[in-house]
Amino acid sequence: MAALIETRVATEPALVDLSVSSVRELNQALHAPDVADKAPAWRVTHPDGRHNVAVGLTAEIDVRIEGHVGYYCAGMNQAATVTVEGNAGVGVAENMMSGTVRVRGNASASAGATAHGGLLVVEGSAAARCGISMKGVDVVVGGDVGHMSAFMGQAGRLVVCGDAGDALGDSLYEARIYVAGSVRSLGADCVEKEVRAQHLAELTGLLAAAGLDADPRDFRRYGSARRLYNFHVDNASAY
């Protein structure tokens, strides 16, 4: 880490070129105990689809990745702000605890999977299983989401400014879903619900935090019908 930081101008972000340095070296530097004091801002160039970039961060630092990333970028994030200036592969922000992860392009499958907190913003579209098993994270998608999004969503909010694929919210618990466009089909136990004043206020705040220009009044709300919480033989066909 010392070599990376010593080569930077004090008022500029620490620069790491992944065509020269390895992802392991970058992550080690980002995990240093004093990183927030010595280098609160980072600029990562030439990611070229590499996997596991900027994972497990626990400091309040700002990491800007200039290009496309592969699997599990910003996974297990805690406190950091990570921005991907491109597309992200499978599992971006997987198991995130807090902080902010932003993808300027599109995200592949399982974006924000199992995440417990924080804010994930995908300015483009997200593929299948966006927000699967979400446990408190807020996920805001500027475009569409694929099938099985928010499957087994336990807590948090999923906001989709475009369309949603098949089986939205399948086996949903208490996560809340807002969709502005069409929904191809709802999953087991997911139903449309009334949009009340508090939901419009919630949407307004989420869209503002994501920096997306959408009208909260265009959205429909979906949630759990709470029929699958306990097994009942009459519902066997829905399992």
64: confidence class by pLDDT, cuts 50, 70, 90: very high
Query: In whole angstroms, what is the distance from residue 145 CA to residue 155 CA?
Result: 18
* Predicted local confidence at residue 2, as pLDDT: 43
Query: In whole angstroms, what is the distance from residue 101 CA to residue 83 CA?
Result: 6
When pLDDT is averaged across residues 80-107 and rounded to a whole number, the result is 98
The per-residue pLDDT for range 22-59, each reduced to its tens digit, is 999 999 999 999 999 999 999 999 999 999 999 999 99
Q: What are phi and psi of 35, to 5 degrees?
A: -65, -35
The per-residue pLDDT for range 158-204, each reduced to its tens digit, is 999 999 999 999 999 999 999 999 999 999 999 999 999 999 999 99
Asked if residue 6 has pLDDT above 80, the reply is: no
Tokens read off for 170: 């399948």
Query: In whole angstroms, what is the distance from residue 187 CA to residue 129 CA?
Result: 12
Contacts of 117 (CB under 8 A, 6+ apart): 96, 97, 98, 136, 137, 156
- Let me know: does 124 contact 108? Beta carbons within 8 Å: no
Asked if residue 229 has pLDDT above 90, the reply is: no
When pLDDT is averaged across residues 134-156 and rounded to a whole number, the result is 98
Asked if residue 105 has pLDDT above 60, the reply is: yes
pTM of the model: 0.92
Integer angstrom CA distances of residue 202 from 144, 170, 205, 206, 207: 20, 23, 5, 6, 9
